[in-house]
Structure 1
């Protein structure tokens, strides 16, 4: 009965005793042995996050295809009842056991001035359009193009730049904003001293910056420059053309820079780049270095691409009621974390390889193969950090990252007959040369 409960080679990352611990902690252990034990249901949910295009019966078939004997296929109603019996709490407990950066060397973890570089941002995931889901996850208000097609949940995560592992996550109705969820993460202990938080302009709010400073973490956040943006009066000018200011009761350093991007098609200058940081010493954190470091914030955008486009394939979740949505979302986040941990383990003994060069799609496909083949589930006393998944990753490394630029536009859905926003723009990716220059207070010394 328990043989179906595995994740192929990834079972070494999320072993049986860890799943049982999560079930026991959340009260999800069965009181009697059933044909669908709780442990098996958890692994079925995790495998479902790897095979998102398939129904649960097809996921079950992949877990059992290489197992000896003829195992009966449970009815869909039995699978649904078992998932409801387990509930979302054990999946949340399992994510809590697995979240956080894995044991990595200094070259694998993105660090700056001794601090772990992390990024925060939010995204939305579409859900099945059912009355039960709409009651908790209402659709967005109708816009100029008509009503929203699906209800959505809002997901906010904290990601370690470099390894792209999840440090923590929170989600709920998209009627609640990113800043509220971000505050919840910070207050729950996701942020702590020794971290440097990167955030986009949506997080340049007095309340959030006060919260981050209150938990002892440092920050590097882009600030808006429009007329209603935060007012940042210059209190003291520093030697590198930056200046000190105050946001609430927090002293910050303001960096203003001009970024010039040159490609074969021409030159574009961005003169309104403004960053605010709690790193006040120009010698410890030079302005130009911080402007370049801020680009690491895009690691979380890549993580969301892997989560929504590669894992989910752009599909809606399966759950038809809120508890199933919560269960499936925690399973999705846990599976992403398990894959990322396996990818980090693969390059653990190769400090010369930047984790950015590991391919998420290769890792995903290799993990799927090991599930179907039911291989390397138990590795006895020898722990192999590479395995078949790691071998596939190391054999197909991506090229070293290059400076490139591409217009950011809204893309239309595949085969859509409607005009895309920015359709007339050049959508090609260009090699680029980037020049950065700090500008100081060129326009308004009181802003």
Structure 2
């Protein structure tokens, strides 16, 4: 939903500059990220590790531009009289030297701080609302990516056309900031990635899950592993329990923990209890919601149903990240495994930057963050970053044109020797199972 107040609100602020981004991403964070991961540049380079961190974040904001264009337009390379531009091979080497660790450190540090900034304004009865769910992304079809990430299996023993990675995120429902994330090879189940996130769920929070995450180990560890950490999750059709007390539509139930789960996690009890609330949607469909919020006076059944109905916002968050921000591209850019991890951590930081700007603008305008258009805010930040890089000095335009001409002269010589990219036609998976008639077999 578009809000007419967004444009005058943004225009009333001073022009976008790199120091404005620095208000959200202080230089000290980037320096600490580089130092903590051991990626600091010892010798002076045109693209030191600190600049590469900004470059990876910018790559997510300018998905339809090449990496060289992003470096040039945002003026990310340090100036030197010896060269007017940075070659593609030098940029690739700078990314390899930096690695993914600084971006991962920066994401976790920034997400923790950004989520806590305005959290008090979006609490639900004293609790922060989160949603946890999984998604997949396709990577470039290189031998390294296919070996590490794997691919989905299609019908007729066909392997997926592109390697895929699987990710699970913890997203704030109110502002849609990604609080935490875990991702890796496609073959690793979402439950395993979710178990990594459970210890990092903040205290005094309510986490809404999809029914695929219904697991005694996951939910019991969530409640017992912190202070006032609760869950809401729909029951499966085959979930069985024993009613302890309550009336129809709002009961306290007891469920048995499977022997297999207790073998994997001996700390689990033999039984665990939850509150079962009947929810009816607008189409008249019924579902049972299981929750650890057992205080009926403080949390009425309607409150629990309302919290669960906001879970869909994490799906919108995935759409904004994968379709809107990454430009409907089929795959990620990177050809290497380390590059894929680096690129995705940078994309998460960039997405949170946009969402943080939206949250700040929404507070000033008196609207909810979901009322402001993500695409409009995304485009405004794109334009402002480009304009800020170009207009730092009006006398800079002749120099930019000169550098452009020099770059055009050198472009034919930038192809790396011995590098081949074989063309291949990707197979499309069958949408329906092929049925063979008897006459076809005769």
Give the TM-score of the pair, scaled to structure 1.
Answer: 0.75
User: Counterpart in 2 of 1:75?
Assistant: 87
Q: Tell whether the 8 Å contact from 1:10 to 1:342 is kept in structure 2 after alignment.
A: no
2:110 to 98, 103, 115: 98
Q: Kindly provide the CA deviation profile for residues 278-307 of structure 1, in whole angstroms up to 9, marking residues without a partner as x.
A: 011211111122112211111211110110
Q: Provide the C-alpha distance between the structure 2 equivalents of 1:76 and 1:174, rounded to a whole number of angstroms.
A: 30
User: Counterpart in 1 of 2:277?
Assistant: 255
Secondary structure class of the residue paired with 1:220: strand
Deviation at 1:376, TM superposition (A): 12
Deviation at 1:12, TM superposition (A): 3.0
Deviation at 1:144, TM superposition (A): 5.5
Q: Tell whether the 8 Å contact from 2:158 to 2:429 is kept in structure 1 after alignment.
A: no
Q: Provide the C-alpha distance between the structure 1 equivalents of 2:91 and 2:362, rounded to a whole number of angstroms.
A: 37
1:17-166 pair list within 5 angstroms: 17-64=28-75, 72-100=84-112, 101-104=115-118, 106-107=120-121, 109=122, 111-143=123-155, 146-166=158-178
Asked if 1:15 is matched to 2:26, the reply is yes
Secondary structure class of the residue paired with 2:302: helix
Q: Tell whether the 8 Å contact from 2:31 to 2:50 is kept in structure 1 after alignment.
A: yes
Q: Kindly provide the CA deviation profile for residues 118-168 of structure 1, in whole angstroms up to 9, marking residues without a partner as x.
A: 000010000011101111111111226943121111111101111011111
Q: Provide the C-alpha distance between the structure 1 equivalents of 2:203 and 2:23, rounded to a whole number of angstroms.
A: 31
1:265-414 pair list within 5 angstroms: 268-271=283-286, 273-315=287-329, 316-350=331-365, 352-374=366-388
Q: Tell whether the 8 Å contact from 2:214 to 2:235 is kept in structure 1 after alignment.
A: yes
Asked if 1:222 is matched to 2:234, the reply is yes
- The structure-2 alpha-carbon separation of the partners of 1:105 and 1:347, relative to structure 1 and needing over 3 Å to count, comes to farther
Secondary structure class of the residue paired with 2:285: strand
Deviation at 1:327, TM superposition (A): 0.7
- The structure-2 alpha-carbon separation of the partners of 1:92 and 1:376, relative to structure 1 and needing over 3 Å to count, comes to farther
Q: Tell whether the 8 Å contact from 2:250 to 2:276 is kept in structure 1 after alignment.
A: yes
Q: Tell whether the 8 Å contact from 2:160 to 2:429 is kept in structure 1 after alignment.
A: no
Q: Name whichever structure is richer in helix by fraction.
A: 2
Q: Kindly provide the CA deviation profile for residues 184-222 of structure 1, in whole angstroms up to 9, marking residues without a partner as x.
A: 1113xx213300010111111122112212223101111
- The structure-2 alpha-carbon separation of the partners of 1:123 and 1:417, relative to structure 1 and needing over 3 Å to count, comes to closer
Deviation at 1:344, TM superposition (A): 1.5
Structure 1 alignment gaps of length 5 or more: 1-5, 262-267, 379-415, 422-447
Secondary structure class of the residue paired with 1:122: strand
User: Counterpart in 2 of 1:427?
Assistant: none
Q: Tell whether the 8 Å contact from 2:74 to 2:389 is kept in structure 1 after alignment.
A: no
Deviation at 1:418, TM superposition (A): 9.6
Q: Tell whether the 8 Å contact from 2:161 to 2:428 is kept in structure 1 after alignment.
A: no
Q: Kindly provide the CA deviation profile for residues 342-390 of structure 1, in whole angstroms up to 9, marking residues without a partner as x.
A: 221223334x311111211111111111211126999xxxxxxxxxxxx
Secondary structure class of the residue paired with 2:252: strand
Q: Tell whether the 8 Å contact from 1:8 to 1:374 is kept in structure 2 after alignment.
A: no
| Matched residues, number | 362
CA RMSD of aligned residues (A): 2.8
User: Counterpart in 1 of 2:213?
Assistant: 203
Structure 2 alignment gaps of length 5 or more: 1-16, 258-268, 393-426, 433-442
